[in-house]
Amino acid sequence: MQVNREAKFRIGQVVRHRLYPFRGVIFDVDPTFNNTEEWWQSIPEEVRPRKDQPYYHLLAENSDTEYVAYVSEQNLLPDESGEPVRHPQVRELFGPLKDGIYSVRASSAH
């Protein structure tokens, strides 16, 4: 059964993970899970998210490093720190940060 839902978060929004200590800026959204079964199975069953929800691609950071993350909607919360994301690709894709949301550069919009 196909589930139609709108994404709760938007491109450019700064979010944080509900369980793990990382945050990031959303640069793409899949309406439902769109990764490999192997990736999904590698998540411990007790915290494995449902597939029938939006999944977000993040330019992510934790206290040690920057990376790209793929996170289910159920595991994200708005980041209310007001702090910019230090991931080096943020400046390539986004303009200024205002109220927890980066403006999307016109040249990077699909």
Domain definitions of the chain by residue range: 14-103
For 86-106, what is each residue's pLDDT tens digit? Answer: 999 999 999 999 999 999 987
Task: Give the C-alpha separation, 66 to 90, whole Å.
Answer: 11
Beta bridge partners of 77: 16
Give the predicted TM-score (pTM) of the model.
0.90
Integer CA distances (angstroms), 4 to 1, 11, 20, in order: 10, 19, 28
The answer to whether the Cα torsion of 18, 22, 27, 29 is positive or negative is negative
Reported as a pLDDT band with limits 50, 70 and 90, residue 109 is very low
- Of 103, 17, 110, the residue nearest 67 (C-alpha): 17
